[in-house]
């Protein structure tokens, strides 16, 4: 008598970060889910992988998209781009919490023709998006910092939120890295909309505003700042602090030394001036997107990012996912991995799949190739699970 083999069903939570320069977290999750869903067991043994997709972010670029993918509503709004051109930005809102991000308002990816503008770029668009979020009467606003084109200390952002910066002739300054040194006086009033609204900075950047580990020195070169620009930005930010103190912010100098003040070209500092609370980006977003609730119904967790390396082990999103996945198997997918197999145990990984193992071509800037390989990786993972 022949007994039929019962089909095996595996429930997989796909919880990746973006593959920077190639695919969004949602695109990574979709490609893996396509591959996993097409998998069959060895020798055609019946079975299926049921996928739950949870695209993630750690408070940097992609945070709005991750919130929308988890159920938030996208709200579009036109803001001033990093060098003055209008750009279509978006925030995420669920009725109580709004998520606003630097990357889609004044980020590097919005610079016209990709031309870096270390002294001219401004954070004003981010402030305009925050102002729009305030019009929705949220209980809290999550300020997702990362990917900024500017190093203006948040001067542009504050300019959109009721601050007026003037030079010694009384001319109003728009707010940019170049404008910092020209600030002579600052006038400000607290926006009524801010009263009762909790501001949360979601970031895992710990740099102060100034000095050897500050925003100009560490992040300025990524934004096109040469040695002369870095020195000018450092001097300008020093003037900014002094004028903020004169304007009544007694803690202006102390906040500049605070961990995270240097994030997003100093926007973190401006957020601290407004009374924002800081939260760990990765874990905050895992909570916001209900990672634990979705994880509990799954047998295996698949996470990943563009590059698995020492920074990953230092607490980036995949490490937080692994830490919170419990005893279930954890599989990492990446564009490349610089972690030798003997170090997988530091994240309790049962397997690592990389795009680099599937092609000799550079997939890091090729979305179509990356997605195609991820579909194959998903199928291979699915086959191994059934």
- pLDDT tens digit sequence for 206-257: 999 999 999 999 999 999 999 999 999 999 999 999 999 999 999 999 999 9
Average pLDDT of the chain, as a whole number: 94
> Phi and psi for 132 in degrees, rounded to 5?
-65, -45
- CA atoms within 13 Å, Cβ hemisphere of 361: 9
* Whether residues 215 and 259 fall in one domain: yes
- Residues 205 and 167 grouped into a single domain: yes
Q: Are 282 and 204 in contact (CB under 8 A)?
A: yes
Same domain, 319 and 234: no
CA distance 123 to 103: 10
Domain hosting 31: range is: 8-56+289-385
Whether the per-residue pLDDT at 3 is higher than 50: the answer is no
Task: Answer whether residue 1 shows pLDDT above 90.
Answer: no
Query: How far, CA to CA in Å, does 124 sit from each of 81, 105, 121, 223, 244?
Result: 8, 8, 9, 17, 18
Q: Based on the fold, state whether residues 71 and 206 are members of the same structural domain.
A: yes
Longest C-alpha distance within the chain, in Å?
A: 97
Verify that 130 and 103 share a domain, yes or no.
Answer: yes
The least confident of 25-39, 128-142, 305-319 is: 305-319
Q: Which of 267, 282, 297 is the last residue of a domain?
A: 282
173/237 same-domain check: yes
Tens-place pLDDT, residues 170-189: 999 999 999 999 999 999 98
- Residue 20 has a pLDDT of 87
Tell me how many domains the chain contains: 2
End-to-end CA distance of the chain: 25
Last residue of a domain, one of 230, 257, 282: 282
Is the pLDDT confidence value at 46 over 70?
no
């Amino acid at each position: 008598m022949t007994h039929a083999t019962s089909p095996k069903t595996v429930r997989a939570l796909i919880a990746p970060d973006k593959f920077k320069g190639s695919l969004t977290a949602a695109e990574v999750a979709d490609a893996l889910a396509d591959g996993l869903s097409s998998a069959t067991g060895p020798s055609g043994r019946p079975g299926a992988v049921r996928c739950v997709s949870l695209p993630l972010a750690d408070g940097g670029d992609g945070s709005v998209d991750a919130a929308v993918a988890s159920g938030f509503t996208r709200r579009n709004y036109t803001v001033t781009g990093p060098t003055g051109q209008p750009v279509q930005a978006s925030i995420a809102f669920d009725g109580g919490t709004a998520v606003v991000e630097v990357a889609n308002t004044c980020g590097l990816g919005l610079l016209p023709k990709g031309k870096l503008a270390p002294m001219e770029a401004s954070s004003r668009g981010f402030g305009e998006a925050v102002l729009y979020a305030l019009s929705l009467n949220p209980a809290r606003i999550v300020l997702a910092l990362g990917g900024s084109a500017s190093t203006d200390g948040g001067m542009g952002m504050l300019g959109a939120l009721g601050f007026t910066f003037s030079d010694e002739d009384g001319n109003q300054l728009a707010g940019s890295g170049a404008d910092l040194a020209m600030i002579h006086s600052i006038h400000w009033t607290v926006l009524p909309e801010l009263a009762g609204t909790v501001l949360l900075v979601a970031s895992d950047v710990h740099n102060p505003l100034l000095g050897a580990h500050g925003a100009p020195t560490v992040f300025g070169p990524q934004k096109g700042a040469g040695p002369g620009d870095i020195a000018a930005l450092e001097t300008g930010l020093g003037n900014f602090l002094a004028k903020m103190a004169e304007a009544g912010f007694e803690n202006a100098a102390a906040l500049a030394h605070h961990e995270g003040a240097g994030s997003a070209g100093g926007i973190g500092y401006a957020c601290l001036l407004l009374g924002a609370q800081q939260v760990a980006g990765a874990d905050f977003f895992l909570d916001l997107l209900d990672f634990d609730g979705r994880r509990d119904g799954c047998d295996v967790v698949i996470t990943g990012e563009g590059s698995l390396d020492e920074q990953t082990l230092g607490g980036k999103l995949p490490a937080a996912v692994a830490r919170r996945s419990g005893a279930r198997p954890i599989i990492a997918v990446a564009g490349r991995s610089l972690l030798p197999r003997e170090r997988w145990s530091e994240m309790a990984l049962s397997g690592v799949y990389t795009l680099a193992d599937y092609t000799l071509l550079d997939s890091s800037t090729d979305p179509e190739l990356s997605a195609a390989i991820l579909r194959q990786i998903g199928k291979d993972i699915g086959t191994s699970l059934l």
